[in-house]
Amino acid sequence: MTMIRFHHSVAAACISAAIACPSFALAQQQSFSDVPPDHPAFAAAEYLKSQNIIAGYSDGTFRPDQKVNRAEALKIIIGGLVTQEQLDQIQGTNFSDIPQDAWYLPYVEIAKANGIVDGPPKKTSFLGERPIMKVEFIKMLLLAQKVDPVSAYSEIRLPLSSDVSNVDEWFYPYLRFALASSMTMVGQDGLLHPANELTRGETALLLHRYLMYERGRRTQALLSEAENEIIIILSMLENNNIAQAEYASARALLAARGAHTSKPNEPIVIGALKISEAFRALVRAYRSERCLVAC
């Protein structure tokens, strides 16, 4: 099959338009009856709708709490990167579980041709009806955007939470980059929940955050996240919970590094990075002291 390349310039132009109007979402009327201005996904849903990346239902709803399957997720990810002409060129598929008249067939074939999903002979099934997991969505999104998470921040191989503690897991680089780009962060439980099944609202948030990070619009969010993680470090050290302090110090470092990647010459960003590195060293010192006492 002939390689079909994405129109990243189209996506970049759309994002640039949003940068020129920072209050875009706030200036718009509410498009979906179930996503009011105080909804966490409001800005994301409004922006992505304006770029024809997502659409609502005929009853005027977006249904942000509805689960998303793999086929729907793939359309959300690459819908703004391909043209209708490219989709119309696709004639068939070798996936055993995709009917030849399936609406999502062209999206899957284009994704396969661009290395976003594996196809035959490596994998013969796409499992389009299965709910999309968080790590799957992040991986497909980053691959569609030509990001190489394996190389990005590769010098940082630190456990990130108690549910993402093995740096050799296949999904580790993707969550590492997701933290460094403020696509995701831990919840109140301190976990990243890589296997969570995503809703429409959550997929909109992840995609919107990445697009804004790509254009340097998530620096403040990253600085705030680094600050939050430092607060967690202090709390965990006070309670002698070194393991959780180590996780938080790794996340703080990634957030600061992500901000520095976007704004390397900003004094406040440089300062935040130095502080995050200092807290990482502090946690290591606590760990060393604890080992000495135990020995």
Instruction: Give the per-residue pLDDT at 20.
Output: 36
Amino acid letter for position 276? S
Residue 290 counted as domain residue:
yes
pLDDT per position in the chain (295 positions), as tens?
434 444 444 333 333 333 333 434 445 689 999 999 999 999 999 999 998 899 899 999 999 999 999 999 999 999 889 999 999 999 999 999 999 999 999 999 999 999 999 998 899 999 999 999 999 999 999 999 999 999 999 999 999 999 999 999 999 999 999 999 999 999 999 999 999 999 999 999 999 999 999 999 999 999 999 999 999 999 999 999 999 999 999 999 999 999 999 999 999 999 999 999 999 999 999 988 776 655 5
Residue 232 counted as domain residue:
yes
Residue 272 counted as domain residue:
yes
Amino acid letter for position 233? I
Instruction: Give the per-residue pLDDT at 289.
Output: 76
Instruction: Give the per-residue pLDDT at 291.
Output: 64
Q: How far apart are the first and last CA of the chain?
A: 62
Residue 259 counted as domain residue:
yes
Residue 253 counted as domain residue:
yes
Instruction: Give the per-residue pLDDT at 26.
Output: 45
Instruction: Give the per-residue pLDDT at 85.
Output: 95
Give the torsion through C-alpha atoms of 102, 108, 110, 116, to 10 deg. 170
Residue 224 counted as domain residue:
yes
Q: According to DSSP H, which parts of 215-241 are helical?
A: 219-238
Residue 200 counted as domain residue:
no
What are the backbone angles phi and psi of residue 132, rounded to the nearest 5°? -80, 135
Residue in the block written with tokens 């640039």:
16
**Residue-range definition of the domain harbouring residue 243:** 219-294
CATH code of the domain covering residue 289: 1.20.58
Instruction: Using DSSP, state whether 239 is helix, strand or coil.
Output: coil
Instruction: Give the per-residue pLDDT at 29.
Output: 83
Domain count, the chain: 1
Instruction: Give the per-residue pLDDT at 185.
Output: 97
DSSP codes, 52-106: TS----TTS---TTSB-BHHHHHHHHHTTTS-HHHHHT------TTS-TT-TTHH
